[in-house]
Chains A and B, each alone.
Chain A
Amino acid sequence: MYDVIIIGGGIVGCALARELSRYRIRVALLEREVEVGFGTSKTNSGIIHAGHHAHPDTLKGQLEWIGNQMWDDLARDLNFGFSRIGELLLAMQAEDLNHLEELKKQGERKGVTGLEMWSPKRLRQEEPNLSHDILQALHAPTAGVVNPYEACFGLIECAQQNGVELFCGQPVLSITREDGGLLIHTSRQQFRGRFILNAAGVFADQVAAMVGADDFKILPRKGEEYMLDRRLQGIVTRLIFPTPTVSSKGVLIIPTVDGTIMVGPTAEDVNDREDLSTTFSGADKVFTAVRRYCPAISERDTITEFAGLRAVADSNDFVIGPSPIKGFFNVAGIQSPGLTAAPAIATYVAKMLRGEGLALDEKTDWQAKIEGPPRFALMSAEERRAAISRDPAFGRVVCRCELVTEAEVLYAIKHGARTLDGIKFRVRAGMGRCQGGFCTSRVLDLLSSTLGVPLTELTKRGRGSELFYPRDDRIAPGDGL
């Protein structure tokens, strides 16, 4: 019997897992995909929002700013990249100016620091590649960027180090009630839990429906993102937001934590919870939009594109709290600013569980920090030399575009990478200009030899996405040979 079972290993589930790992309770996390972070989180824009966007009367508005302030510690403890590059919200037309003023006031009411209006002159000085037609911009220095999947991997590694049990590749099929708890049936086994936290993202309403706790609906909203060539690195140095609309914050220019420029996302309501396709119209919307405020960006610089689904609840706010079913809690509808709020959601939920009678006694030996993956590309010459003499695997370059070594790939496999995408998102092998043309076979060899799995069984991202087929050496009669 687990004290708490978390369903869903996205950023929210992983943050919950780490938060609960502080206490002397037994916690399991169930993830349907073969690795954590492989759903919506993997395709998130990676923005830690400045804190002023969401209205303070909403739950997302309250948790946004609290969450924002937690990321410095998280990034330091879990050794992933985070940089507070700041954001600029642009007013392109006269009616946008009011909106900027309102947002500034809203932010100041929430306690967001450093908000400042920038004149066109200041803007041109700070971001000379932006359009000269911008009327004014609201600068928010508290905004930052992370790689959301790196945060997931770091959070889960820390949670596991502190005793949380992780079960991947186990979609929840049904949940039944029992004395003193709930019984979860996955495709492979059963889990008994006293408290269940439903952090199943775009599938959260379906999971809630398994116990009749679905008083909300998830309306997936698709976002397409386009990653641009390093040629454009530095074209803007801050997050660039247009004035938002009702359904989205608009198409953004995102200098990622790795320094590359990404543009997107679109916002399109879709019915299919697996619709991760990019489209001609999506690309058109993204590039038409960003060229209005940054004319030098061209779609021809695209090196890759992808789409993700936001788990928007019909209430348009986070759905966090107990359900009519005893022990079953929803942590659902986590749309933007969900990534920003995730660590705050985790502490909010922990407090709630305590209120529901779960004894949360802190462990004396809880480890906040993890070793974290080595990053050869970011090391100084001295550090590189030391790393290679410590472990010769640092001397073998696996991915030349992103300068990833064998040692990093082996670390990733040791910490849960099972697929080509798992390696890619953990160590960046295959993320660069050649998009895996060179490193794919080397990565597959390492996965195969380390895990003892034949090459033909290795996948891109789990069962059904096998990459290569065995050669058919049989010669059929009548082949004329």
Chain B
Amino acid sequence: MQFTNIQSILQKELAIEFRQKFAVGGVFLFSATVVFLLYKTFNNISPREWVLLLWIIMLFTGLQAVVKSFLQEKQETWMYYYSLFDATSLLVAKLLYNLLFLIIVFLFTVLCLAIFSGFPVRDITLFSVGSGMGLLGLSVIFTFVSVMAASERASSILMSVLSLPLTLPVLLLLIKVTTVSTGLLADTAVYDDVVLLAGINSILLGSTFLLFPYVWRS
């Protein structure tokens, strides 16, 4: 694992992202459209629905965003990577890139929701810590699954079939933590849930690092 390698992969990803603006634009447009659609149908969104909608939008936009990053690579590109880097640096770079992308999409979605239907969060620290943990978990799962789904014919279907059940534990905890942060539920033990979330994240992260070198070679 070398930091220069990680850096160069990250730079390359960002460069591609800026060259192919339609893909990024598509993700943001998707999120904005869904928010607007929900705003028009619900008219008045209660805090509980707000949290739920936020994470459902995040789930699907995140899925789209990450699918793109691994699936756009051609078979030849993989071979090229394989000759250049070891698996861990590639994984770290992809993971960081996906996390960064998810965070940006998340901020954008929160902004859209806030403009259209208010910002019900009371406890900003809890909200940001919880969401950060959750986004990390989602990006780990999406990255790992997209490696497996890559270079298959029905890869985007496979991607959602594999990753949606895996994200459920993270998502359930996440919705609970963020609901508490809106002040709807009073839960003194909410930081236990945050710790649990961190625990799940570290397990997932550890197993991804262990398994990635095996799964990647194809």
**Chains A and B bind each other:** no
